[in-house]
């Protein structure tokens, strides 16, 4: 079993769905990713929060054994804040407010244990910060990055450089199209591979995902989940669980990655069943494994 480092944002989110409004709930790519990964392996969380982040928030992570030495508290700042509204029927969302706050000060400076991590998940945040963290890791066996439309548009050069440094890239179909200007998923996948990473995973939300590597391709469906309450963090949990599983197996081969993608898929299927990662907080690893077996059985033909 290897340890996993998760670098990214930790945030407060205010989320509006057709049914409900929730204020100042925990969000952020690294928060979701590390929480999901912690079901699989020893995980460290690297991020930055403000003075409004109470110790009871941190405890949610330490209760799951997540290392928080690199979760820096900036007393003179507020935590990164995002407010968004979901329109579930059209599968779209709208950003109402973004306050970068402490993220403008965030400069990853890893502790020795984090620097020794052999599995690194660079969750969605500025590619400049993703590179800064990755360069401090001296023992990397597998590094995977996520990104989003904002960085594709505004920090494209840094993102292109990051892509030459990582083994895998995870992004959704819209982002893949934005980054490659290819509408066809296969052309986008091929082009992304040519830009550096050894594999690319294109997420398609409720339609599952497609994995691309030089001589391999696979497509897996989402786990059929009827009770979608709120989808924030599903992609982060998908990638976090995937990396957590790979670290737990200390594996980077194709078969392990496929199984890891399946674990990511079923873990993400819990997250959407409640706000924040409340649904994950109610379950144990056994419930993920049970859903994994249901998923595996569903795919047996």
Residue 187 CB neighbours (<10 A): 14
The span from the CA of 288 to the CA of 225, in Å, is: 14
- Residue 254 contacts a second copy per CB under 8 A: no
Which residue intervals of 11-121 are DSSP H helices? 29-37, 55-62, 112-115
1 binds a second copy (CB under 8 A): no
- Give yes or no for residue 141 binding a second copy (CB under 8 A): no
Binding track, positions 62-91, relative to a second copy; x by CB under 8 A: --------------------------xxx-
Check binding of 93 to a second copy (CB under 8 A): no
User: Shortest gap between Cβ of 36 and a second copy (angstroms)?
Assistant: 18
258 touches a second copy by CB under 8 A:
yes
Q: Does 116 bind a second copy (CB under 8 A)?
A: no
Q: Which of 74, 259, 271, 272 binds a second copy (CB under 8 A)?
A: 259
Nearest to 285 by CA among 27, 37, 19, 11: 37
Site for a second copy in 183-222 (CB under 8 A): 183-186, 204, 206-208, 210, 217-222
CA pair distance 141, 33, nearest whole angstrom: 18
Q: Which is nearer to a second copy, 167 or 173 (CB)?
A: 173
Measured CA to CA, the distance from residue 237 to residue 37 in angstroms comes to 7
Q: Token digits for 5?
A: 């480092």
Quickly count: other Cβ atoms within 10 Å of residue 74's Cβ: 18
What are 15's strand-pairing partners?
Answer: 22, 84
Of 137 and 262, CB closest to a second copy = 262
Residue (112 or 181) nearer to a second copy, CB: 181
**Tokens of residue 299, six digits:** 């795919």
Stretch that binds a second copy, among 51-59, 61-69, 242-250, 292-300 (CB under 8 A): 292-300
- In the complex with a second copy, which residue's Cβ is closer, 97 or 297? 297
Environment class of residue 18 by beta-carbon count within 10 Å: exposed (0-12), middle (13-18) or buried (19+)?
exposed
Report the residue number, 196 or 208, with the smaller CB distance to a second copy.
208
Cβ 44 to a second copy shortest distance, Å: 27
Strand order from edge to edge, sheet including 92-99: 21-27, 11-16, 80-87, 92-99
Q: Does 290 bind a second copy (CB under 8 A)?
A: no
Phi and psi for 126 in degrees, rounded to 5? Answer: -55, 130
Q: Which is nearer to a second copy, 89 or 138 (CB)?
A: 89
Q: Which stretches of the chain bind a second copy, using CB under 8 A?
A: 88-90, 183-186, 204, 206-208, 210, 217-224, 226, 258-259, 262, 295-296, 298-301
């Amino acid at each position: 079993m290897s340890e996993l480092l998760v670098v990214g944002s930790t945030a407060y989110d205010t989320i509006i769905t057709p049914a409900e409004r929730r204020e100042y709930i925990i969000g952020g790519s690294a928060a979701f990713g590390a929480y999901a990964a912690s079901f699989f392996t020893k995980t460290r969380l690297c991020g930055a929060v403000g003075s409004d982040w109470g110790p009871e928030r941190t405890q949610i992570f330490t209760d799951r054994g997540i290392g928080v030495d690199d979760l820096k508290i900036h007393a003179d700042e507020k935590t990164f804040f995002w407010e968004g509204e979901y329109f579930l029927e059209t599968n779209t969302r709208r950003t109402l407010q973004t306050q970068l706050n402490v993220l403008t000060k965030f400069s990853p400076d890893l502790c020795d244990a984090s620097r020794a991590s052999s599995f690194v998940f660079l969750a969605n945040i500025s590619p400049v910060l993703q590179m800064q963290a990755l360069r401090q890791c001296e023992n990397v066996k597998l590094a995977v990055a996520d990104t989003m439309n904002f960085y594709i548009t505004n920090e494209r050069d840094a993102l292109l450089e990051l892509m030459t440094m990582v083994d895998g890239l995870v992004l959704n179909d819209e982002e893949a199209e934005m980054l490659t200007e290819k509408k066809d998923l296969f052309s986008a996948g091929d082009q992304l591979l040519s830009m550096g990473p050894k594999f690319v995973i294109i997420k398609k939300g409720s339609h599952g995902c497609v994995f691309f590597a030089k001589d391999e391709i696979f497509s897996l469906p989402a786990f059929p989940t009827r009770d979608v309450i709120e989808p924030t963090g599903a992609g982060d949990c998908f990638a976090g669980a995937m990396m957590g599983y790979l670290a737990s197996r200390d594996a980077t081969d194709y078969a392990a990655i496929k199984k890891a993608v399946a674990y990511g898929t079923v873990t993400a299927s819990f997250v959407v069943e409640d706000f924040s990662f409340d649904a994950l907080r109610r379950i144990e690893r056994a419930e993920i494994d049970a859903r994994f077996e249901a998923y595996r059985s569903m795919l047996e033909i």
